[in-house]
Each structure stands twice: as C-alpha cells, then as structure tokens.
Structure 1
C-alpha cells in the first residue's frame, strides 16, 4: 500500500483554539518605563479587516539584546520577554505593548536598525508570512534588509507615530501590500 501526502491546511481560523493567551500582547507589563503600544489592523486582499488572524512579534531589548540563552548581551530585565502574540478582534485589530528595541548586529557586523520581527497567521494562508516593523522616527538609513526593499515599498514596513504609540497595519494582498520576507 502506498500512502499519499497529507493535504495542506490553512493556518486559520482554528488558531484561536490554542495559540492566544491572556497576557500574550504584553512583551512588557503595561506601565513599564518606556512602554509603547503598537496597534494596527490586518487587512485581506479586498481591503476588509481579518477578524481571525494572529500577530506574533520577536524583538531585542532596548540595548539590542535578546531574551535567549544564546545571547550573552542580556535581555532587558525580568519584565521583558521579547515575544508578543495577539489575535485580531472582530474588527481585525491587534495590539502589542512593548518597548522600542535597540539596534542589533547583522551577520556582517554592521548594525540593523531597531525593528520587530513579525509573523502573521491568518485564514487562507498555508504558512505564516513574515515581515518587520521599523519605526519612522528612528534612524533606519544603515539597515541592509530595509535597503534591499524597493524604495516605493519601504513605507509598508514603517510604523507611524501616534498619540497612543505606533500604528502598523498589515495588508496581506492588494493595494499597499505589506512586504513579506522569505525565511
């Protein structure tokens, strides 16, 4: 007997059964010195909000160190976990409470601009998509990854400053599609 491969499954909508947890959106506790909110909406290719997506973030601490045993540079203290996870609500909105990351070294020794690594899980996707959040009010000029993106698409990777922190919308397809990276 010959067995065929298992058919591919889409990421959602069943991610809500096991991936989110109550304090998932808090990379740092609310009220932490320097804490900011990153808020946004996930949109599908038609421009409609995606109410059953999930955003995951992974980032360095303000000094550029990761909360990981392989990083000897530290991890921002006991309140910083470096990882956030937030499902979208009925309006497609997500929120992450964090601190701005520091610059981290690239493979060639140069520094990467402060950024968050982001995974997006959503219905219709066979695999997560991966992007980055850079900050419009930080020096992004020397970042090789951002420089590799066509200039007219870089704005899709920039979080905009608001009165409440930063805004970063994710467009899965269509007009203003967010740049996603093959990892």
Structure 2
C-alpha cells in the first residue's frame, strides 16, 4: 500500500439529514426543508384517517433519559397501504407520508403525529394487525 486513505467528515448532510431541529447547536436555515420529506408529522390536513399521537421517553440502561437519540417510524395508512414502490396497490391516501423521524428532547421525550394504521397483508398473505415499526438510534 503506497498511501493511506484520507479521513473524511460525515459532511454537511449529517445534521440536516438526521434531526436538525432536534439539536439546538445546529442552526439549519430555511433552505433545508427536511420536515417536508421526513419529520415527526406524517400527515397533511387532507390525509384521511383517525389522527393519533405516539409519544414516549427513551431511557438508557441505567434508567436515565437519553437526550440525543433518533427515532424512525414506518407504517401503513388507514387503508393498510404503504407509501412505498414495493406496495403496488392503489394508494387512496397519497397525502400520507408513511415514514417519520424525530430526535429526543432534553428529557428523552419524543412525539409523532400520525394516523391510526390499517391492517396489512403479511408475507404469507394473511392480514396482520395494524402496527407501527420503530427503529431507535443512540450512542453507546
């Protein structure tokens, strides 16, 4: 090997691409409209379905709130349709985003504004109960 690979930073998309609003030390300007594509509000005023709020607190193994975690959720709309090219069924609720991302606040809290999901077909073709999929990202 003649040279070492140079180091690189994560880049300008790290703060803006994850949860720019959640970290007060990063001051994104209006040109980064991340909440229009991914944020904690999955519905628009014209989306159909019963509105719900999913909220909670993320704790570490010692029971202390985590103030810098990131959560993502995925779910179907009220009719059980995913906002994904993999779901080829017609989407009567095209105003629903189906995916959200949120940072925890200083007390480890988070909240998502969404709609109650409908049942979806499972891999075996049988209907699954309505559900929301969570992914939690944290240090340590």
How far did residue 16 of structure 1 move? 4.7
Structure 1 ranges of 4+ moved more than 6 A: none
Which protein is richer in strand relative to its size?
1
Deviations 1:29-49 (A, max 9, x none): 379652111010111001111
Alignment correspondent of 1:54: 70
Q: Equivalent residue for 1:18?
A: 17
Q: Please give the per-residue CA displacement for 1:129-161, whole angstroms capped at 9, x wherever unaligned.
A: xxxxxxxxxxxxxxxxxxxxxxxxxxxxxxxxx
2:98 maps to 1:70: no
Change (3 A) 1:123 1:16: farther
Q: Measured at CA, do residues 58 and 75 of structure 1 come closer, stay the same or move farther in structure 2, by a change above 3 Å?
A: farther
Q: Distance in 2 between matches of 1:46 and 1:52?
A: 16
- 1:27 to partner: Cα distance: 0.8
Query: Aligned Cα RMSD in Å?
Result: 2.4
1:22 to 1:71, Cα distance in 2 relative to 1, 3 A = closer
Cα distance in structure 2, aligned partners of 1:73 and 1:28: 20
Find 1:41's aligned residue among 41, 49, 57. 57
Q: How many Å separate the matches in 1 of 2:66 and 2:105?
A: 8
How far apart are the structure 2 equivalents of 1:121 and 1:31?
Answer: 31
Runs of at least 5 residues in structure 2 that lack an aligned partner in the other structure: 4-13, 20-33
**Match 2:116 to one of 88, 100, 116:** 100
Bigger radius of gyration, 1 or 2? 2
Deviation at 1:108, TM superposition (A): 1.2
Offset of residue 17 of structure 1: 5.3
Compute the displacement of 1:71 (Å). Answer: 1.3
Cα deviations by residue, 1:142-183 (Å, 9 ceiling, x for unpaired) = xxxxxxxxxxxxxxxxxxxxxxxxxxxxxxxxxxxxxxxxxx
State TM-score, norm by structure 1: 0.55
| Matched length | 114
Q: Distance in 2 between matches of 1:78 and 1:94?
A: 25
2:78 is paired with a residue whose SS is coil
